[in-house]
Chain A
Amino acid sequence: MTICASHFGNRPMTWAMLAAGMTLMAHDAVAQSGDTIRIGTMFVTEGALASLGQEANRGLEIALAEFDGTIAGKKIVVFKEGTNATPDLAVQKARKLIEQDKVDVIVGPLSGGEGLAVKEYAKTVPSKTFVNGAAASQDTTMRDPAPNLFSFRVDGAQMTAGLGKYVYDEKKYRNVAIVAEDYAYPYTQVAGFVSEFCGRGGKIADRYWVPLGTKDYSSVIARIPSDVDAVYVVVGGADAVNFLSQYYQTGGKAPLIGGSITVDSDVLNSKGPFRSKIIGILSSSNSADESEAPEWQAFAKTYRARFPDGLPAPSSLAAAYYISMKAMLLGLQAARGDVSGNQDVLKEALRTLKFDTPTGPISLDQNRQAIADNFLMEVTSRPDGSLYNKVVKVVPQVNATLNMPREPYIAMGAPSRTNPPCRQVGKVL
């Protein structure tokens, strides 16, 4: 190719690549036909969150398998794109799915920053339909939402519902310090915890924000006041492994309360001596590894049969992508596979969709945000020594404002390092 192209001018590769580009462009001209539904999906495949993406992929595969590849006589074609958890790439991949692969709908993305970015993009393609994958940032739907984005995934604050109240009432904690990573997701979780815990009358001793990717927390740990009743920790993945082991190595005494990523299955299945120390940590999330609910049991059974090399139980990410993909498929089914025009039938179907999931019934509120059950759990050891989160309490049907009055809750503003302050708000609890 290069040799032939050299007749054209001084930069043969330019021409060769242009030619290659044209060929690819011509390839796209194979337009979508009326008897298929093209579903695009995206999840993280690189970097620190890659293991979560692997679980997401497993979850959505299970949902797809339930529908046997067709809806209302139309064939389902799935396009998968991998991201590196950066918002830039998430938008580029979403655009590629819509514009190049001509997908009708998108399920994704996975992480909070990506969710906010894809929301902004969704507004620019109002006729298409987006179902959030697992992004848990509050403003994916709460402030300035995109009318064509539906989130069957609870946000980070919803995942804390019931936790602040439980530790105040049952564990009798009154004074809690917070150690959390310095970005939007932990802000949201801390906001949820603080508004409940302080609403009951609890006090926050201090909030320590550590940069994402901090590996040595020993100086932060040394700084935690010794008179606190507990420490609420929102640190994920490898960082969590490091925090937890260093906390116990340096003789940390106060009990820990975990955020939804602090002792999730990603951390519990990591390898290392820290595992023996963390039994009994209380945490909250949108799914529980060993929930007794028959829907969860069935889901877990399918998961283990289909992915023998997977985790001992499906993680909350597998559940989230399963639910999101299934919601999309149920919506498409209700719309009889109609994805033409503005997709109004599909959007209406999703808006009113209510279905029983492995984590309990889920429906949407006026901002198209999930109303779902929340789980309080304790890290427990299985007979074979592996760890899981055992359900302590189920908090039924939590909405986006943690069932507090909507207006004042939203008026508190977006969560940040200092917002919301520890005030006795939301006495309705």
Chain B
Amino acid sequence: MTRQEQIALAVAVLALALVPVVADDFWLVQIFGQSFALGLVALSLNFLSGYGGFVSMAQTTLAGCAGYMVALTSVNAVGKGVPLHPVASIGLALGVSALAGAFVGWISVRLHGVYMLMLTLALAMGFFFFAQQNVELFNAFDGIRGVVVPNVAGVSLRSPKIFFYMSLVCSAAALFAVMITGRSPFGLVLKALRDHPRKAAALGFDVAAHRIAAFAGSGLLAGCGGIFYTWFNQRISASTVGLGMINSVLIMAIIGGLRSPIGAFTGAFAYVLINTFASGLVGAERVNTLVGSAFVAVVLASPDGIAGAAKYVRSRVRQSSLFERFVAQPASGSARSAVNE
């Protein structure tokens, strides 16, 4: 992470921290809170894909593991599970999602590219159908509803401002952690494995262990998102981990750009905005056409999502400015994106 990026991130977080001054509860929770929750799930995909080159369709499922766990260890309206202390509940949920992540990493350890995509899709669909059919634990199609979000010092964590700040802080921390990881020895090994798996293995790095650890980490990120998303809806059901959501998370990550971690949140924000307000633009019935077309346009126009497109425009602007043309080295932006930050 460059110094410039650090500053940008800090400024963005500070600006967001001021949002509650102008925004009402709807914007705090449904737009921003939801964007942070989904952004965390998209970030887990972004992390895997950006550093490891794995496109996993199972991130929604990992989030769902944590979501179901937190729902089952909270007071809920369907009487499933056992209510636990919030700390235990959250800890257990994150533990489960990290373990599930490690499992996905372990089982797909030999695969790349579209094969990885298919295996993770198969796992995700298997989990979805299981959750939809299992009455004993998952309460089948109807899922766990009426999940009570814990109180801390008499204040519900679901109250708009608390929820907003909590999800903001968690997102910022996760983003920071992902960026730091990118420059850590672990992150560098991941990138080496992505770009030159044979050379990296020849240098003595344990390919399997690194992959499994990366997936476990992504499970942790997705798990955070899953907990927030379950608290946000105060419910979780099979449809939360269904193909629609799986596609949506993928769309967010791609629209935002897989190369930059912050893209996960821009993507999630764009997605939530479109999904919430498109009914006012195109009528209640054709929202999917709009979302789908936007997605296709982004994938076709820019391999790197909104962030990539912005970078491209910026580099073009710089190149064409007199200063750039005569003094500075050209094409700094695109050159940098080519080496994957």
A residues sitting closer than 8 Å to B (CB atoms) are 2-3, 6, 9-14, 17-18, 20-22, 24-25, 28, 45-46, 80-82, 84, 86-88, 91-92, 95-96, 99-100, 113, 116-117, 120-121, 144, 182-184, 211-212, 416-417
A-B contact pairs, 6 of them (CB 8 A): A12-B310, A88-B236, A91-B234, A96-B26, A99-B30, A212-B141
Closest Cβ of chain B: how far from A208's Cβ, in Å? 14
Chain B residues with a Cβ closer than 8 Å to the other chain, count: 59
Find chain B residues with CB under 8 A from A99 CB.
24-26, 30
**Of the residues B25, B29, B239, contact of A87 by C-beta under 8 Å:** B239
Alpha-carbon separation in the docked complex, A416 to B135 (Å): 9
Residue of A nearest to B287 (CB): A82
Q: Are B142 and A14 in contact (CB under 8 A)?
A: no
Q: Are A2 and B145 in contact (CB under 8 A)?
A: no
Find chain A residues with CB under 8 A from B135 CB.
416-417
Q: Are A13 and B143 in contact (CB under 8 A)?
A: no
CB-based closest 5 A-B pairs? A99-B26, A82-B284, A86-B239, A183-B141, A9-B8
Closest Cβ of chain A: how far from B227's Cβ, in Å? 15
A81-B262 contact given A28-B24, A88-B240, A99-B26, CB 8 Å threshold:
no
Residue of A nearest to B257 (CB): A13
**Of the residues B15, B30, B77, B307, contact of A92 by C-beta under 8 Å:** B30
A11-B310 contact given A18-B15, A82-B279, A182-B141, CB 8 Å threshold:
yes
Alpha-carbon separation in the docked complex, A100 to B34 (Å): 15
Which one of B265, B276, B309 has the greatest number of beta carbons of chain A within 10 Å? B276
A3-B313 contact given A10-B8, A87-B239, A100-B30, CB 8 Å threshold:
yes
Residue of B nearest to A91 (CB): B233
Closest Cβ of chain B: how far from A93's Cβ, in Å? 8
Q: Are B269 and A17 in contact (CB under 8 A)?
A: yes
Find chain B residues with CB under 8 A from A91 CB.
233-235
Find chain A residues with CB under 8 A from B185 CB.
none
Closest Cβ of chain A: how far from B228's Cβ, in Å? 14
Q: Are A11 and B284 in contact (CB under 8 A)?
A: no
**Of the residues A45, A86, A95, A183, contact of B284 by C-beta under 8 Å:** A45
A interface, over-half SS = helix
Q: Are B25 and A120 in contact (CB under 8 A)?
A: no
Q: Are A96 and B276 in contact (CB under 8 A)?
A: yes
Find chain B residues with CB under 8 A from A117 CB.
145, 235
**Of the residues B8, B273, B283, contact of A11 by C-beta under 8 Å:** B8
Given A11-B8, A82-B287, A95-B30: 17 more A-B contacts, CB < 8 Å: A11-B260, A11-B307, A12-B314, A13-B306, A14-B266, A17-B269, A17-B273, A25-B27, A86-B239, A87-B239, A88-B235, A91-B234, A95-B29, A182-B141, A183-B140, A183-B142, A184-B142
From 135 to 167 in chain B, residues with beta carbon under 8 angstroms from any chain A beta carbon are: 135, 140-143, 145-146
B12 at the interface (CB under 8 A from A): yes
Alpha-carbon separation in the docked complex, A211 to B141 (Å): 10
Alpha-carbon separation in the docked complex, A10 to B310 (Å): 9
Closest Cβ of chain A: how far from B38's Cβ, in Å? 12
Find chain A residues with CB under 8 A from B265 CB.
14
A120-B77 contact given A88-B240, A95-B30, CB 8 Å threshold:
yes
User: C-beta contact mask, B240-264 vs A, less than 8 Å → 1, else 0?
Assistant: 1010100000000000000010100
B186 at the interface (CB under 8 A from A): no
Q: Are B142 and A116 in contact (CB under 8 A)?
A: yes
Closest Cβ of chain B: how far from A58's Cβ, in Å? 13
Q: Are B284 and A80 in contact (CB under 8 A)?
A: yes
Closest Cβ of chain A: how far from B78's Cβ, in Å? 9
Alpha-carbon separation in the docked complex, A91 to B317 (Å): 44
Residue of A nearest to B270 (CB): A17
Q: Are A2 and B310 in contact (CB under 8 A)?
A: yes
**Of the residues B4, B15, B26, B309, contact of A10 by C-beta under 8 Å:** B4
Find chain A residues with CB under 8 A from B142 CB.
87, 113, 116, 183-184
**Of the residues B29, B260, B317, contact of A6 by C-beta under 8 Å:** B317
Find chain B residues with CB under 8 A from A212 CB.
132, 141
Q: Are A22 and B233 in contact (CB under 8 A)?
A: no
Q: Are B140 and A25 in contact (CB under 8 A)?
A: no
Residue of B nearest to A113 (CB): B142
Alpha-carbon separation in the docked complex, A309 to B198 (Å): 64
Find chain A residues with CB under 8 A from B234 CB.
91, 120-121
Closest Cβ of chain A: how far from B332's Cβ, in Å? 12
Closest Cβ of chain B: how far from A170's Cβ, in Å? 34
A22-B22 contact given A14-B266, A45-B284, CB 8 Å threshold:
yes
Alpha-carbon separation in the docked complex, A14 to B34 (Å): 16
Q: Are B237 and A86 in contact (CB under 8 A)?
A: yes
**Of the residues B11, B27, B146, B237, contact of A113 by C-beta under 8 Å:** B237
Alpha-carbon separation in the docked complex, A173 to B238 (Å): 38
Find chain B residues with CB under 8 A from A144 CB.
77
Residue of B nearest to A80 (CB): B284
Residue of B nearest to A29 (CB): B24
Find chain B residues with CB under 8 A from A95 CB.
26, 29-30
